[in-house]
Amino acid sequence: MKSIAIAALAALVTLHPLGGTALAERSSDKKTLLQILFPPSPNYQKGKYRSDKSPIPRKVVRFNESFPEGTIIIDTSERRLYHVMSNGKAMKYGIGVGREGFTWQGRNRISRKAEWPGWSPPEVMRRREAAKGRILPKYMEGGPNNPLGARALYIGSTVYRIHGTNQPWTIGKAMSSGCIRMANDDVRHLYERVDIGTRVVVRN
């Protein structure tokens, strides 16, 4: 009986591999058989857990500033991103921004878009983290475990991006090295509405 149960579990693992991109794209409402057999601990919904949802829900708000429709406004002090719509409105998203010493401002345009982007940490970041005893890879394949999350919008020729994150608890905080973080659900939403060439305004 024990050998039958082990064989059945092995089959489930084969049918439902953990950590794949396809799994990450599924609705969070659908549970795999492994999730049913091994439900998360009671503390799963408390504190630092993996989720595609933002703790700060996006919403349409009034926006009366004189920016053309489609412009992305990133307000780092407010820790919000505005995507300008028509009729004096904008979609407002919660974001994570650069920590002290890593804030910046300026105007640029979206130069590239990528789904499940790979990550090449800048050399200066690799040296900085190595000094703290953390060794970063030269390159990390895209996927659910990648720090850039589900989508990335590259800002001009800078090293900065608007990207997803698998750390939703960082939304609304200043914890990045200058990039703009969004929950995966939000960055997918924005990604579908933004074209290459879109204006980006970053202000403090």
- Which sign, positive or negative, has the C-alpha torsion 194, 195, 198, 202? positive
Q: Does the pTM of the predicted model rise above 0.75?
A: no
- How many whole angstroms separate alpha carbon 7 and alpha carbon 146? 32
Return the amino acid letter for 63.
F
Q: Which of 16, 83, 163, 189 is an active site residue?
A: 163
Bridge partner list, 154: 112, 161
> Length of the chain, please?
204
Tell me if residue 189 is catalytic.
no
3-class SS of residue 188: helix
Per-residue pLDDT tens for 16-52? Answer: 343 344 334 443 444 444 344 444 434 334 444 567 9
196 pLDDT higher than 80: yes
Q: Which residue in 16, 83, 179, 189 is the catalytic one? A: 179
Whether 16 is a known active-site residue: answer no
Whole-number Å distance between alpha carbons of 2 and 147: 40
- 123-155 pLDDT, tens digit per residue, is 888 898 889 898 888 888 999 889 899 999 999
Residue 116 near residue 150, CB atoms below 8 Å: yes
* Neighbour-count burial for 51-85, b at 16+ CB within 10 Å, e otherwise: bbebebebeeeebeeeeeeebbbbbbebbbbbbbe
Strand duo 174-176 + 97-98: pairing? parallel
